A and B are shown apart, each in its own frame.
Chain A
């Protein structure tokens, strides 16, 4: 059977992310009760897998790395139609940069077993590096195509996909197993259904730590991360603002005047 792995991440809800600040002393994020949600782009990655499964006989595993609470987003993916969930959770995984994250996920994918394709969201809404997909592929020694917008053809071992470029696209032919990172152009993610939620109750989430994965503490989390945060400065981008007052018409009129006087209109 065709095996698909979808990598997902729990991220602070992007709609409330502006409430997150950095603690200047501990250099950690003060999350301020911002809820964790499924990374928006990962929904498109899961949808790609679900649409493939609708056409062919396929099995979808969802894999995430994160604290135990990240199990909720894995559960959400199961309710959306994935078959099996895996959560890599261990204190030793904390503080990972993209490199250590990709390494840990690659180890998780290997432990899940043989697979045909891996789908990832192009980027997470919090880190937004786009590094994890290509680095997973490198650790697994398989090809990757990033920013895909269309799957043109699946033809046995060879897939043809379109990938986004500035003002255009490239058409790429790639041999599977491969990693694809997906953009929003690829599909329209489905919504949760009541029956999906009921069915997901029977599906299990397997949790693995460093022992089950067989990785050393030095190769994961903060210790396994080549990049570290060295210092934090505050950015002073403040300007002296003039808030224009009055009725809507008056404010618009004043704004036109100010901009005309500044010579920018």
Chain B
């Protein structure tokens, strides 16, 4: 390609002045994309009392940080954030913009994409530069892996969940430019974030758990779901969910595993009453040992695990729990 290529951008996200790990992961992967394109990696960081934070972004692999450091930017304000990024992108012409797939990212990314008249991909499990210097977003769907490209418009945009890319090894010797961004004065104030409330998460953290038990629609009803939750508790495991169980209201959205939820890599994964849909399975492809419990012997889940139990999960799980307890008792007495 004869035209020189703009930078790779990462929209960094902070909560209470802490930069999220996904932002560092995107900078780390952004370096690879930038190397393939022979360009730089730049982060946009919006917040308040963030003057020291660009250092962390340089250490992760950033070459430049655009820093908006203003009380108005302390928490996510959709119109102000979108306005700043739109204006800056129109001026600086980034080739690629990467955004973490968080509540903020999932709203801000389409606001920016529509303002910049460009395409945006969700649920990417990999991002590569193809032979034409075009960004390929790889997305699992319907039993295959789609590569989605945005051939004619720039920037090329994608959202990526935490855990898809590894944390980069920080290099404290790296430095870069900090470019301050002013808050534009003439933004329509039609929308204001009044308050942000964060609670301590319930149950085990999925991303750091060594054992993950995931339940599917095969639980049948809330009583069946409780049995799966009991199994997670006995194993001291994090409880994950599939899309249909979130749809049913049995499980919370933040426990959903898969392409539109969390990516986890536990030592042991036990999928209970789920069919092994790819949208879910990509979220646990990093698991070491995998078990499926499902009453349908023909279920695709049995091609994707190490151990299979063909049985009604509602009947099997209580028996399994008793056997686990007995095993643990035996260990104690040895």
* Chain A residues packing against B (C-beta within 8 Å): 14-15, 17-18, 20-22, 24, 29, 40, 97-99, 102, 123, 125, 127-135, 137-139, 142-147, 160, 163-175, 178, 183-184, 225-235, 237-244, 248-249, 251-253, 255-256, 258-260, 262, 264-265
With contacts A24-B144, A173-B194, A240-B306 taken as known, whether A227 is within 8 angstroms of B119 at the C-beta atoms is: yes
* B247 adjacent to chain A (CB < 8 Å): yes
Since A22-B146, A128-B243, A167-B254 are in contact, a sample of 12 more A-B pairs with Cβ atoms closer than 8 Å, ordered by chain A residue number, is: A143-B79, A170-B193, A226-B153, A234-B143, A235-B282, A241-B302, A241-B306, A243-B302, A255-B307, A255-B320, A255-B323, A258-B307
- Digit string of B282-295 for contact with A (CB within 8 Å is 1, else 0)? 10010011110000
B243–A262 touching, CB < 8 Å: no
Contact A21 to B319, CB < 8 A, known contacts A167-B200, A168-B197: no
Q: Are B190 and A143 in contact (CB under 8 A)?
A: yes
Q: Write the B65-79 contact mask toward A (1 if CB under 8 angstroms, else 0).
A: 000000000011011
A174 with B190: CB separation less than 8 A: yes
| B interface residues (Cβ-Cβ under 8 A, vs A) | 75-76, 78-79, 102-104, 106-107, 109-111, 113-115, 117-123, 130, 136, 140-153, 190-201, 210-211, 217, 235, 243-244, 246-247, 249, 253-254, 260, 267-268, 275, 277-278, 281-282, 285, 288-291, 297, 300, 302-311, 315-316, 319-320, 322-324, 327
Output the least CB separation between B37 and chain A (Å).
17
Q: Tell me whether A128 and B149 are in contact in the complex, defined as CB-CB below 8 angstroms, given that A17-B277, A168-B196, A170-B197 are known contacts.
A: no
Query: Given A128-B260, A134-B110, A167-B200, A18 and B300 touching (CB < 8 A)?
Result: yes
A14 to B245, CA, bound (A): 11
Q: Is the CB of A255 within 8 A of B291?
A: yes
Bound-state Cα–Cα, A22 to B230, Å: 37
In contact, B143 and A227 (Cβ under 8 angstroms): no
Which A residues lie within 8 Å of B323 (CB)? 249, 252-253, 255-256
- Whether the Cβ atoms of B117 and A226 lie closer than 8 Å is yes
Partner of A238, one of B144, B267, B303: B303
Smallest CB–CB gap between A173 and chain B, Å? 5
> In the complex, A229→B194 CA distance in Å?
40
A133–B110 alpha-carbon span in the complex (Å): 9
Q: Which residues in A have their C-beta under 8 angstroms from that of B303?
A: 237-239, 241
Contact B145 A228 (CB under 8 A): no
A135 to B118, CA, bound (A): 11
Contact B148 A229, beta carbon cutoff 8 Å: yes
Chain A residues near B117 (CB, 8 Å)?
Answer: 226
B243 touches A265 (CB 8 A): no
- Please list 28 pairs of residues, one from A and one from B, whose beta carbons are closer than 8 Å in the complex, sorted by A's number: A98-B110, A99-B113, A99-B120, A102-B114, A125-B247, A128-B243, A129-B110, A130-B107, A131-B113, A134-B107, A142-B190, A145-B78, A146-B106, A146-B107, A171-B194, A171-B195, A173-B192, A174-B190, A178-B190, A226-B118, A227-B120, A228-B151, A234-B145, A237-B285, A239-B306, A241-B302, A244-B307, A262-B289
Contact pick for B150, options A184, A227, A255, CB 8 Å? A227
**Is the Cβ of A234 less than 8 Å from the Cβ of B319?**
no
**Cα distance, A243 to B309, chains bound together (Å):** 6
Question: Given the complex of chains A and B, what is the CA–CA distance between A86 and B278 in angstroms?
Answer: 34
Partner among B200, B247, B289 whose Cβ is within 8 Å of the Cβ of A14: B247
CB-contact partner of A22 in B76, B144, B288, B289, under 8 A: B144
A-B pairs, top 7 by smallest CB distance, nearest first, are: A226-B119, A227-B119, A138-B114, A168-B198, A264-B268, A134-B110, A131-B110
Are A145 and B327 closer than 8 Å at their CB atoms?
no
- With the chains together, A22 CA to B278 CA distance in Å? 13
Given A170-B193, A226-B150, A239-B304: A264 in contact with B211 (beta carbons within 8 A):
yes
Docked-complex contact B267 and A264, CB < 8 angstroms? yes
Contact A234 B305, CB 8 Å, known A135-B113, A228-B149: no
Q: Which residues of chain A have C-beta atoms less than 8 A from B288's C-beta?
A: 262, 264
A146 surroundings in chain B (CB, below 8 A): 103, 106-107
A-chain residues with CB within 8 Å of residue B103 when the two chains form the complex: 146-147, 163-166
Is the pair A174, B191 in contact by a Cβ cutoff of 8 Å? yes
A133, B113: Cα distance in complex, Å: 13
